[in-house]
Chains A and B, each alone.
Chain A
Amino acid sequence: MKAATHTEIYRPFKGRLLARPMRALVLAWSGVRLGFRKKLPALLLFAVPVITTITVAFVINLKFDAKNMLDDAFAQGITDVETEGDPMTQVRISAAQSLARANSDRVAMMVSSTIADVEALVYGFINQMSFFVILVMGWYGAGLIAEDKRLRANLLYFARPITRWTYLRGKLGTAVFWGACVVMAPTTILLSTACFVSPEYQFLKESWPAILKFEGYTLAYVLVHALLVLAISSLADRRNRALAGVFGVYLLTYLGGESMTRMFDGQGWRLMSLPRNFQRVAESMFDLQSGAVDWPLEASIWMIGLYVVVSLAVLSTQLGRMERGA
């Protein structure tokens, strides 16, 4: 209950507007905060990625731990020999050192093998998480533009000094955040774990190009999928339709590609599917061969480029209409 004597007055703003405010970041963070409002979907969508990340991190830890134990055993063997004071000490030291030298090649091979195992493990993790990226970005990204259209919130946003590209960057930031939470952040955690638990940061020293490739690949994966999700969202006028559109596009292109491949016995049909194209790029980046995506790398790059161009064209048109108040 308000006191009858209370009178609100208008207070003029005496400050100044910032010369370079980060409007896209403000919009992106606003979208992220809204996403956190509903706890149950977050719990359901992120449960599997979180559990998987923790499990894989433990596995990486165990792999390097086993190798560390072996190193320790060698070192311990040499120390024991030195402290025994036996008359044959010099002979035994010499023998132990010879043994260590002889095994050093084996140790180096084991380190390389462990690092390769970890890299394969991280790639396998990314591959598995790619499904959840689509799921999470579909869930959180489908409504980002569609709901603004339905509620006509674009009238509020575009009454501010922003262009359609600032708006797109803001929405893209939100979508990328959710995708990054599923695949980029866990990948970074796994790679960091590998760096820290490997002896003398050997993983970082030897695999830094792979680390960069993993991060670059996951970023590109999330960015391109976010663009596609936003383009579909901009075509719908409510979230549920956009959600159906997102999953519809993925299912149709994926299942359509698989069916056509089986019917006509040619893998080229799989080019329709965006995740398949990313799989092809990943196999090229990480020197893997699954046999499911046997086509030239250039074809996949062209297809991904086509997806990006079409998404940007759709977004430019739709956001232009929203900017004009349609």
Chain B
Amino acid sequence: METADLPQPPTDERDAAPRSSEPVVRLRALTKTYGKVEALRGLDMDVPPGPVGLLGPNGAGKTTLIGLLLGLLEPTSGEATIAGLSPTTRSQRVEIRKRVGYMPESDCLLPLMSGVELVSTLGRMTGLSKEDAMTRAHEVLDYVELEEARYRPLDGYSTGMKQRLKLAQALVHDPDLLLLDEPTNGLDPKGRREMLRLVDDLGRNQGKNVLLCSHLLPDVEKTCDHVIVIVQGQARLSGSIAELTAADQHSVRVEASGDEELLRRALDASDLTWEPAPSRPEAPGRTGLVVTLPPGVEDSDVIFGAAAAAGVVLRSVEPQRSTLEEVFLRAVDGDDVPASNNGAPTA
């Protein structure tokens, strides 16, 4: 067991154990019903190792899924493997919780306790010895930067501190899989940035498997490599964010340096379809057009030709990329999404 006083190598030098490519969670035809209500309807899903975002509208079955992943619920039918264990018996379901760390969305902190007391108590309840629990409590509180507030009663903690404390208690037993439910909820921009930095570090540098449930798509985009979208108890979409938001070969974003109206007329004259481009967060004042290339046309020469004919100077021409929000909305609305599946089907 390491002690807090020992010098440690920098994070980037202390390489985490090589990550297996095996899915951390494997669900096959998983169904969970409450009476007549089907919370999960034949859910097929593979959660790859590393940081993964779990998205879905309200009532999609995310809470039920978390309950299943924590081993709190027994599936009605189907197969599930969580952190290498199958929740078929009560003892297995309890065993799963030794390998999973959960950061709930709600406050859920007892006000009279101190930070170190809460974390060490929960560590002991997971199975750490008294000494290990106390050492780990100090280590994880250091990690989440609560070292100065560790002995203060929790009712004096700010929202940001509470969120970080909840992350610390999820980490105390060093679990294989971290379930983070809305970790940036209620945080100010600075607190949010800090929390995202921690989640990012855990998922990308420390080799933790992170399942991040959030309705804030930029948070998922910033910290996760993969995303899974659940709609009405089924996995509607699963794939790497890079692939899901990859450039569409047939859509080009065009910005004119002169009169955009001239460019529109030129595109119409060349039988090219276009639509106003969404504004970019990094350049909110700049407008543009998204031009759809005709079938069989692979490059943008046709656009340059049309612009030249109209005497319009083009400021930029680049392949159009989807945002995660667009991908999510298309998945929720049931549109086809060009996603890679990683073995799990998409709707």
A interface residues, Cβ below 8 angstroms from B: 2, 7-15, 17-18, 21, 23, 26-27, 30, 33-34, 37-38, 147-148, 151-163, 323-325
Neighbouring B residues of A159 by C-beta, 8 Å = 70, 72, 97, 100-102, 104, 170
Apart from A161-B125, A161-B127, A325-B72: 20 A-B pairs, beta carbons within 8 A: A9-B11, A10-B202, A12-B16, A13-B1, A13-B128, A13-B136, A17-B173, A26-B121, A27-B121, A151-B107, A153-B108, A153-B110, A159-B70, A159-B97, A159-B100, A159-B170, A160-B122, A161-B94, A161-B95, A162-B94
Report the minimal beta-carbon distance from B59 to chain A, rounded to whole angstroms: 15
Q: Which of A14, A152, A161, A324 contacts B108 (CB 8 A)?
A: A152
CA distance A213 to B137 in the complex (A): 44
The reply to whether the CB of B90 lies closer than 8 angstroms to some CB of chain A is yes
Closest chain B residue, CB of each to CB of A323: B72
Docked complex Cα distance between A26 and B10 (Å): 35
Q: Quick check: A15 and B142 within 8 Å, CB to CB?
A: no
Q: Which residues of B does A touch, CB under 8 Å?
A: 1-2, 8, 10-11, 14, 16, 63, 66-67, 70, 72-73, 90, 94-95, 97-98, 100-102, 104, 106-113, 117, 121-122, 124-129, 132, 136, 139, 142-145, 147-148, 169-171, 173-174, 201-202, 205-206
Known: A155-B106, A160-B122. A14 touches B112 (CB 8 A): no
- A9's contact among B14, B100, B112, B127, by CB below 8 Å, is which? B14
B246 to chain A, nearest CB (A): 32
- Given the interface contacts A8-B145, A37-B112, does A161 sit within 8 Å of B10 by beta carbon? no
The answer to whether B97 and A324 touch across the interface, beta carbons within 8 angstroms, is no
User: Complex Cα distance A157/B132, Å?
Assistant: 19
Cα distance A155–B100 in the bound complex, in angstroms? 13
Given the interface contacts A147-B110, A155-B108, does A14 sit within 8 Å of B1 by beta carbon? yes
Report the separation of the CA atoms of residues A158 and B126 in the bound assembly, to the nearest whole angstrom: 10
- What residues of B have a CB within 8 angstroms of the CB of A148 in the complex? 110
Q: Most chain-B CB neighbours within 10 Å: which of A11, A38, A148, A325?
A: A11
9 contacts between A and B (CB under 8 A): A10-B143, A11-B8, A11-B143, A17-B128, A21-B129, A157-B122, A161-B126, A163-B94, A324-B67
Q: Are A151 and B143 in contact, with the CB atoms below 8 A?
A: no
Measured in the bound complex, the distance between the Cα atoms of B131 and A21 in whole Å is 13
In angstroms, how far is the closest chain A Cβ from the Cβ of B283? 32
B153–chain A nearest beta-carbon distance, Å: 8
